[in-house]
A and B are shown apart, each in its own frame.
Chain A
C-alpha cells in the first residue's frame, strides 16, 4: 500500500481522504445544482451519497471527472487537484454512470477491450484484464454477444465491469441499481461490497435507503446541493432518530392530537401519509404512554433521519 501511494497526486497526504470536495458550487442558470458542498471520502471505504432526485448527486459525480466544471470550491481526487490534473486522476478512477452508455453495436468483450485501451492497460495485460472483468460481470459465456442483445441486468453488470477493467483505486457509482429487479440488485450489492473489501474507495450515489444502509461504511445525506449530515448509518440513526420509532394511525383529529401531545412531551414527530411517526420512541415513559396511547413500534432508519433533517422524503 505504501509503495503504491507513490502513484497518487501531489495533494495526497498519507492516510488522508481519497476524494475531497470543499465549498463546491455548480450553477445551471438560476439553478444551483450543487450549492456549497463539503465532503471528504476516506480512502478504502464505501461512502453512500443518499439524496432524492435532483439533490445534485450526478452533478457531483461529473465534477469529480471534470466533465462538469465547478463555479466555486476545491476538488481533489486521489491527491490530484481537479480539473487541473484531472486526467491523472481519471487514469486511477473507474466511473459507472447513471445512464448506460455502452456501445450497443459492439460485443461485451469489445466494450471492455476499448475501455482497457482508453484506461491504458498495457498490451500484455489487456487480455487478462478483460477476462477478469468478464468474470466479474459473469458474462464470460456471453462475451461474444452484442450488447444490444443482453438483458438489463447483464448490461448493468457490464457497465460496472467496464469501470473496473483497469483495477482502479477509486470507483464512482452513480445510482448503480436503479431500475433493476431485486435479484440483480442483490448481485450488484455483493460485487460492490467485495470491491470495498479489497481496499478500493467507493463513492456510490443512491436514492434507495436500504442500499445506502446496507453497503455504506458511511453515508452523506444530500439535499438541495449540500451534504447536511454524514456518518455511519447506525450512528446517524441513533443520533437523530433514536432506536425505535412508533407509528400512530387514526383519523386526522387523532393524528393532530398525537402531534400536539408528542410536542408537549418533547418528542420529534413527522407525518407520513396516513400516520404520525414519533421518533426516539424508546424514551416514552409509562406516564407519557398514558397520554399518547400505543402506536406500532418499528426500528428507526435513515429515512426518519432524512425527513427530520430536510422535511423531504428520499425515495
Chain B
C-alpha cells in the first residue's frame, strides 16, 4: 500500500502534465470560478481524471457549496410572518424624518 502510494506520488510529481493532490487542491476555487489559465486547467483536469480521491473531493466540495446556497435562507414565501409593529413604525418614521 505504502509502495503504491509512493509510486503514485512519483508519477504525480514528475510525470508530464502531472501535479500532486496538494497542489491540485490549491487550484480548486480558481477552477470552479473558471479562472485557471489554460495550462493549469489541463493539469488540474488530468489530475482529477487520474486521482479518485481528488475526483470525489471535487464533487463533494461543489455539492457542499450548492447546499449552502440552497438551504441557508428561507425562501421568500416561507418567511411570511409580519414585522413587529414597533419596528415597522420605527422604519417608517426614520424615512419620514429624513425625507420630508
Q: Do A and B come from one complex?
A: no
